[in-house]
């Protein structure tokens, strides 16, 4: 892939990112969350739209796991103590997520871990309007993840549009990232 042929693709991503930041800032939205799921479209799904349903399942599953850990922490603290409760809950969640890799529809472990970790940053980083779990905070977090997935889909479509328009042969459409990912 040459610089000149890839520049419109890169500029399109830059425009999408800038638009999101401008719109999100103007509406006091949390800017970083969509970038988790946007990147995931490529990092875990290789930019293949056929992987998006699994990504969405993983994003929801990771968020649910994060919510459950926060919800169950006081109960586990009651019988395990403050030192062991969180590690035990994280062990259960982490083991469960990795075991899901043995299934077909639930196998995209990176999606679970991205949204799981992101949920803690969102909740305890002061982005959820408090540290209590509310329907509104979970809904907003999931909406932001969904937005990021939408931006990832838009990126895939824009990349195809530009490369088709410039008549770049299919065998010449790979970046270094694409080539290394295929090894």
| pLDDT given at position 46 | 59
| pLDDT given at position 131 | 84
| pLDDT given at position 45 | 59
What's the pTM?
Answer: 0.89
Per-residue pLDDT of 51-75, as tens digits, reads: 899 999 999 999 999 999 999 999 9
What are the distances in angstroms from CA 34 to CA 24, 50, 101, 116? 10, 20, 24, 14
> Given phi > 0 = left and psi -120 to 50 = alpha, else beta, which region is 126?
left
Are 145 and 63 within 8 A, CB to CB?
Answer: yes
Per-residue pLDDT of 108-132, as tens digits, reads: 899 999 999 999 999 999 999 888 8
Angle at which helix 33-43 crosses helix 135-165, to 10 degrees, equals: 50
Are 125 and 110 within 8 A, CB to CB?
Answer: no
The first and second tokens of residue 82, run together, are 């403050």
Per residue of the chain (183 residues), give pLDDT as tens.
788 888 998 999 999 999 999 999 999 999 999 999 999 988 765 578 888 999 999 999 999 999 999 999 999 999 999 899 999 999 999 999 999 999 988 888 999 999 999 999 999 999 998 888 999 999 999 999 999 999 999 999 998 999 899 898 887 777 777 766 666
């Amino acid at each position: 892939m040459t610089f000149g042929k890839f520049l419109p693709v890169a500029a399109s991503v830059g425009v999408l990112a800038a638009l999101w930041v401008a719109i999100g800032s103007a509406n006091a939205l949390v800017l970083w969350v969509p970038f988790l799921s946007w990147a995931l479209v490529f990092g875990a799904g290789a930019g293949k739209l056929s992987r998006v349903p699994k990504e969405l399942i993983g994003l929801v599953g990771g968020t649910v796991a994060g919510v459950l850990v926060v919800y169950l922490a006081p109960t586990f603290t009651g019988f395990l103590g403050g030192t062991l409760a969180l590690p035990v809950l994280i062990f259960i969640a982490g083991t469960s997520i990795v075991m899901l890799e043995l299934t077909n529809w639930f196998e995209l472990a990176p999606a679970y871990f991205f949204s799981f970790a992101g949920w803690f940053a969102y909740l305890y980083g002061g982005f959820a309007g408090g540290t209590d779990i509310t329907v509104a905070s979970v809904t907003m977090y999931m909406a932001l993840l969904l937005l990021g997935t939408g931006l990832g889909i838009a990126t895939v479509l824009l990349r195809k549009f530009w490369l088709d328009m410039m008549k770049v042969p299919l065998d010449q459409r790979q970046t270094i990232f694409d080539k290394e990912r295929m090894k």
